[in-house]
Structure 1
Amino acid sequence: MKVLAALSGGVDSAVAAARAVDAGHDVVGVHMALSRNRDQFRTGSRGCCSIEDAGDARRAADVLGIPYYVWDLSEKFEQTVVADFFAEYEAGRTPNPCVRCNEHIKFEALLDKALALGFDAVCTGHYARIELRPDGSRELHRAADLAKDQSYVLAVIGPDRLARSMFPLGDVASKDEVRAEAARRGLGVSAKPDSYDICFVADGDTHGFLRDKLGARPGDIVDAEGQIVGAHDGAYAYTVGQRKGLAIGRPAPDGKPRYVLEVQPITNRVVVGSAADLAVGAILADDAGWLAGDVEPPVGIGGVPSRDAAWFDCSAQVRAHGTAVDARARVLPGGRVRVELTGDPGSPGLRGVAPGQSIVLYDGTRVLGQATVGATERMTATTEVRE
């Protein structure tokens, strides 16, 4: 096959490209330029897509003996991922830019351009597995190395793009194995630190990045009864579940820490409460997309769901490196899905789930689908799953 290898400049994408070459594919390397004002070197954090990264990607391509190009996708990145980031925080929601990047850049803009140029697939260094079903369709599964699993951020790509994707690192036992392989191959990125934080926030100061764009907007921090307990300079800088950085001068009546329970963009208020107030019993999510056809609802005229689908058992995960919890879900008309926790009502369950986060549903290691959290319902000691 003719394969486009996305080279970020890191060790994972370089080894993934090398494995694609070993498999006999005709491989071309491409580095995505996602910012027009890229720092040459990161300070205070490690992101990706810097000028330094582009140079590392080129050197990896040279070692592998494959053609190398840089594609400028900065305008698309700015219009989708960065614009969504600001809009979601301003609306009191918590976005996941890595999910949006996979959806709109790596598996939309990049893949669509690759297909238009005659490539058969895109190869990336993501840690996830693809398994073939008897009918030839593909399933997305968790990586063998659960500590590095990235199926959560890939759940958004959909079945058509999954069919054109390659993840050669899905079966590796650990990141150490990847680094050792890179060293054996003579790839200079073998010891390069992992990238983390938000790639377009070069210094890692997300609060400052938002403030520079959205400006200071002073308001009140209130408790669940509406009593003012502190002040903030922008509600957009807070997220549900946050504990640090509240700057509340006096403790809660019980002396325990306070957490953000809600961000109210219209009133410009941040509501705080106890850790117990963060427990979630049910989630209503929007814009659902499915990788597993067996959980989609029946459809009527124009492909619109004609009724609610049946409940199905699953596990639910709301953070990229979070723990999946037992749940059941039901697909609703209008691209919505209701997820209810089915474990012991007295257990912690999910805590601090913020609107805007992605919720991904699993059947064992298989990704069923994902949606965007719209609203949550509190878990109480008497919570019962409703029929």
Structure 2
Amino acid sequence: MLGGGSGCRNINLALSRTPARLTRIVPAWDSGGSSRAIRETLGILPVGDIRQALMTMAHGEKCAGNVVRMCNARLSEAADKRQLRTEFDFLADCRHSLLKTEPAPLSNAITRYLDVFRSRLPEDFDLGNGSVGNFILAGAYLAHDKDINAAISIFKGMCGIEGNVWPIAVASDVHLSARLSDGRVLDRQHLITTLTPSEPPAWIEDIWLTRASDSTVSANVEGNGPAIEAIHTADIILYGPGSLFSSLLPHLLVNGVVEAISANSRAKKIFVGNITDCAETRGMTLEAQLSTVLRLARTRSSGIVLTHVLSNRNFFPFPKRVGKFSYLQSGSLEEMCGAQGISVVSGDFEDLWRRGTHDGEAVARDLSKLAAC
């Protein structure tokens, strides 16, 4: 499953409850939230998307142990720095009752990683609303010579997680940039995901990855070995759902990704259309989004990168909104996919109780049918 955070959550949860062996492949260019503060302070790979995907996997697999509870916790949000440091030290010094009930090797490992993380922080670092899971994962990353794959494997073992989560790249300095139709360049992911409507309207014309301070220069970014291997061996390669320009498309810019997708000739390659548009894709149809994916992928490989698309059935012949955004229109999806040899699976994929989000069980059922074909 190629994608970022909350858009994949419901489907991740549903697939985790099936016999499927699930691998999440997540971005390596997160620049927002507490993950941003840790990344900028310590100069490390962003861990927020990784931790979030691991916690979603744990929830889907019904891992409810003390370690999962701790990794899913956060420090106080509105508190002074002295209180926040007291909260952190309470955990790092193994005084929390959840840690005291765990076997010594496990509690010692957690407190070791928290202590490594603490030792690298400046005194004025703001711990407010910080994710304890981010702290532990970052500490493990630092303790194991900045080997994120080793840190993830250890984190999974501590939580009892069976599924896999890998960042698409392991370099610590990867960032995402975008050029808008009005000439502006947004040089970090969080600036792209928080785009606001403008008059006249501006849309994203181009994206690229950079590893340099100059955000206008595209850089080569090597793919993460376990992530590339997972693509090579998958029975189904799932694109999304999620934010097109900040969470999905950039994966295809990483060296080896499109090549691995093309080389896996036996896999179903399925794009899961979003239920609504978002700040990045306002006004784009599902047809336009697919065309963008195919256009980018084919600059790197002439092989087959997409075989199916899951499209939520739209019952209204006019634009209709849910919250801030409109339901995603299909456009000339059937015609475009027919010309490209892509099968369209149309269904009722919206959650009945949470409008604008996917019904993970409904998507998982159709994926199971496709896998059996």
Normalising by structure 1, we get a TM-score of: 0.28
Q: Which has the larger radius of gyration?
A: 1
- The higher relative CO (CA closer than 8 Å, separation ≥ 6) is in 2
Q: Higher helix share goes to which structure?
A: 2
